[in-house]
Chain A
Amino acid sequence: MATIRLDPRFGAIFKNELLRLVRDRRALFLAVVLPMLLYPAYFLGAKALGREAERRMESQELVVLVDLAALDTDLFGAVDEALDGIENLTTRFDAFTDPTEPETFGVEDLEAAYAAVGAYDPTGDDEAKARAPDGWLVATSRPDDPRPRLTLWHDGSSERAQELSGRLRSALRDVRTAWVDAELERRLERDPALSLAATATDRAEPIDATGSNFGRFLAIVTVTILVSGGAYAALDAFAAEREQGTLETLLVQPVPVRVIGWAKFAAVAVSASAALAGNLASLVGSAAAGIVPTGIEGGSADLIGATFAGRLALALALGAPGGLLVIAVLCALSARARTYREAQTTILPITLAALALTAPAALPGVELVPTIAAIPLVGSALAMRDALAGHLTPLAALLTVASSGVAAWFALRKVGALLDLESVLQHGDTEAEGDLRQRRARRAMAVGWLSVFAIYFVGSWLQSRSIAWGLALTLWVLALGLALVLARLEAKDSRSSIAAALALSRTGSVGAWLSVPFAVVGLAGFAGILLAWQDGVLPLPPGFGGEVAGLVELGPLLGLFLLAVTPGVCEELLFRGAVQTGLMRDWTPRKAILWQAGLFALAHASIHRFLPTFTIGVFLGILRWRSGSVLPGMAVHALYNGLLVASASTWFDPGVRESLSFVENPWFAALLVIALPLAWMRATERDPVVAPAA
């Protein structure tokens, strides 16, 4: 039986990294130990300070100036009595001009009204200022509504005024309750408390409530600790090695760069995890000791239970890929930095980015749906929250693990590449070379991503206003505009035309055009197979695709224009035209086609549509690559969309629709066997690139 043996050199580098980290006592203390000690200190301090502030405010003498002229005698008496009952409160009754003039009564501009009241200062001397009230309580009544209204004017920026507001509110609430109760009792002739009193009973288990509260912040706390605990290790393992001249020595040893990168990453991960373990232990310990404000009655005690420990372990396991992603990014940026100082400057942006990505877990109403689960780190944060609260969706949780895991893997591969000796030694010159070599592909990718986000955010906002106009603007203005901008830049670099950059300068091969009908029907059949399979794992939500119904109502002419022709033209020009042309300048066709198809699928902003759109994107990408033209692809795309929409709409007679329903037959996917070889046929020469002038 083969045994798995770790490369001994991996172990040696890993051990060496850890040894050096542990020997840096000061950094170890500051990054790992100190935060652990700070939690209890912080919670205890905050609690003590809070109590002290409360005590101090309670003993404050507050002054309120009262004008209750609009109240009737009974009510006046009741309010007066309530005010007398408030400790440390001085009320001065006075009649003064209501700052809100009758004609402006009810203005929302409290600030202006308060400014008017603030002008109430008869003498203006220091003594008067000291006696100046912290707030004004005014009773008013509208001419058309005789019921009196009590308004409290206070200054929200003053702690005293806020305290006053709190005390008055609570006193007046009691008056109102008593008043309403008395009135109800008189009318109902029975005690209203029997019928109207509401008691709140929390049906959630205390552990669920505590878990939910704790889980909201677990991801944020975790990434903060991982960054702070991992940063010093990453800086030491990558940036410091470069600066002290040991990296070059290490890289001339007979050890693959990949092994070095992995070993260093592992050491950083261990350091960050140690910080996390220590900090979490400290945090959970503080909570168990009852010094963390959980807001749940008896919640703290549950933190020591086995169930909670299990949930925490699950949450941490689910969050692990996200954590590894954060650490890998930390390592990549440290490896990329030319100096220690440069690496240090990246820590704050990483922290902020990580906090922004984990913050959704703390927001109310953000649910772990598959679309969000697919976003690295965001999904992890939500999965951690749900795991602690005890209501985790397994599929979405697995998706978060996959998405963050894949992202972490990519980041890790980057770490190995960044350790490459060329970039170590050439102080960025070869990096510039790499940049120059990849510049156009990178630009195309950047525009591709920009398109995805623009279509997603701007497009969906436009379409929420008007589905037809929104769709037209999104594609004809936004998508086409971005395609033209990218094509113009590309044309300038290649000294060719914009048409060539959009793959419009050729008409395509005969094979490509012949493949169109087979491709349309074949792709429809294949999409059917994919969706049927997907339905098992990721069922379509009810009402999916409902937005199309609004367009179908516009009739066949406009409907087909918006749903078939528009995407066919605009999306092809953007993704297969400008973006793919740019990508193919620097990348292999395979890589270029897969990435543009990925972007194309992402632009459809639906996890449910991803697989079919990605497949279609790949086919259209191949068609554009082999034929050198975007035109056959436009035909495939428009006809495909048109066929699907027409078969689902009510535009035509049932007979016609019946004949169109063949698209649902998965057997037609077999037509791709004809379509693909036809699409593969092409004239062999590459796109002409005009040589730069000598």
Chain B
Amino acid sequence: MSTNDASNKDGTAAVVTRALTKRYAHPVEGEVRALNGLDIECRYGEIFGLLGPNGAGKSTTLRILATTLRPSSGTALVDGVDVTEDPDEVRRRIGFLSATTGLYPRLDARETLRYFGTLHGLSGRALEDRVEELIETFSMTGFATQRCEQLSSGQKQRVNIARAVFHDPDVLILDEPTTGLDILGTSEMIEFIHSRRDGRRCVLFSTHVLSEAERLCDRIGIIYGGDLLGVGTLDELRARTGEHWLEDVFRAMVTEAGHESARMGTDA
């Protein structure tokens, strides 16, 4: 199951979810449904954006895919591996980064990379070579020996990204990666996501910033209240709703879904 076989992955599914649901028990409100049977499919070679407001279920979806949450029902496959059956293998194959991801303040950039490299099973020469390679790729030479607590937010961002792609994963899961970043940090992140677009990799990221989705995504999934309202390229979504701007597309789909559920409610 080599993941680095670049030849024939383009266009095949890197991430598949089938009827994925997640329910929480809330002590006061009782059962809370964060996801209602989500079906998405992201292919190798594409950047897939999950778009939705806060609380829509984006983070829940991505965290199930990153094995940090267990689905209540349904299946999710990442790079062909079931997230509930072999979470360790899934973790080996993904890179994960979220808005809340932090760095160890008392480790320097190089130590941070080395640490996470070790956790991915690297050691010795291979580990050191990869660390140096990443330091060069992400232009971190100037601050590689500085403790993370002393780094600027942009520098931290680079360490974090380098950390996430240390093992060169084919599937990258980014949960609202630009939230809380300044202009420079955001543009650096967007540039990075853009650089990941090649034939063999899949980037799945969530955002509530419409411009990011417009700019980066090959396909967009619109998620609202735990339901997937629609999936497609920007043009497909425009055609479906008859709106031009993504913002209007989004609003039209939410309104449509609202009518739908209201109709179903009266039928029931």
User: Which residues of A line the B interface, CB within 8 A?
Assistant: 8-9, 12-13, 16, 19-20, 23-24, 244-246, 248-256, 421-422, 424-426, 429-430, 432-433, 435-437
Contacts and interface: CB of A to CB of B under 8 A. Distances in A.
Contacts of B111: 19
A190 B102 CA distance: 91
Interface in B1-53: 24-27, 32
Given A20-B107, A254-B88, A422 B102 contact: no
A432 B100 contact: no
Given A9-B119, A425-B68, A437-B25, A248 B88 contact: no
B102 A249 contact: yes
Interface in B102-133: 102-107, 111, 115-116, 118-121, 123
Contacts of B103: 244, 246
B91 A254 contact: yes
Contact residue range for chain B?
35 or more
Interface in B58-106: 63, 66-70, 88-89, 91-92, 94, 96, 98, 100-106
B26 A248 contact: no
Interface of B: 24-27, 32, 63, 66-70, 88-89, 91-92, 94, 96, 98, 100-107, 111, 115-116, 118-121, 123, 163
B26 A245 contact: no
Contacts of B101: 245-246, 248-249
Contacts of B115: 12, 16
Contacts of B163: 249
A20 B106 contact: yes
Contacts of B91: 252-254
A426 B34 CA distance: 11
A20 B119 CA distance: 17
B89 to A, nearest CB: 8
- For the complex of A and B, the 4 pairs showing the least CB-CB separation, nearest first, are A245-B102, A433-B25, A421-B68, A12-B118
Contacts of B121: 8-9, 254
A255 B90 CA distance: 11
Given A9-B118, A422-B70, A429-B24, A254 B92 contact: yes
Contact of B24 (A13, A252, A433): A433
A249 B88 CA distance: 14
Nearest to B107: A20
SS class, residues of chain A in contact with chain B: helix
A252 B123 contact: no
A421 B100 contact: no
B100 A253 contact: no
A437 B106 CA distance: 40
Given A16-B107, A252-B66, A253-B116, 5 more contacts: A245-B100, A248-B100, A256-B88, A421-B69, A435-B27
Given A12-B115, A432-B26, A253 B120 contact: yes
A250 B163 CA distance: 11
B109 to A, nearest CB: 14
A255 B87 CA distance: 10
Nearest to B91: A254
A628 to B, nearest CB: 29
A24 B106 contact: yes
Contacts of B26: 429, 432
A12 B113 CA distance: 12
Contacts of A429: 24-26, 32
Contacts of B67: 252, 421
Contacts of A422: 68-70
A430 B24 contact: yes
A246 B104 CA distance: 7
Given A429-B24, A433-B24, A254 B70 contact: no
A269 B211 CA distance: 50
A496 B33 CA distance: 29
A9 B100 CA distance: 24
B69 A252 contact: no
A8 B88 contact: no
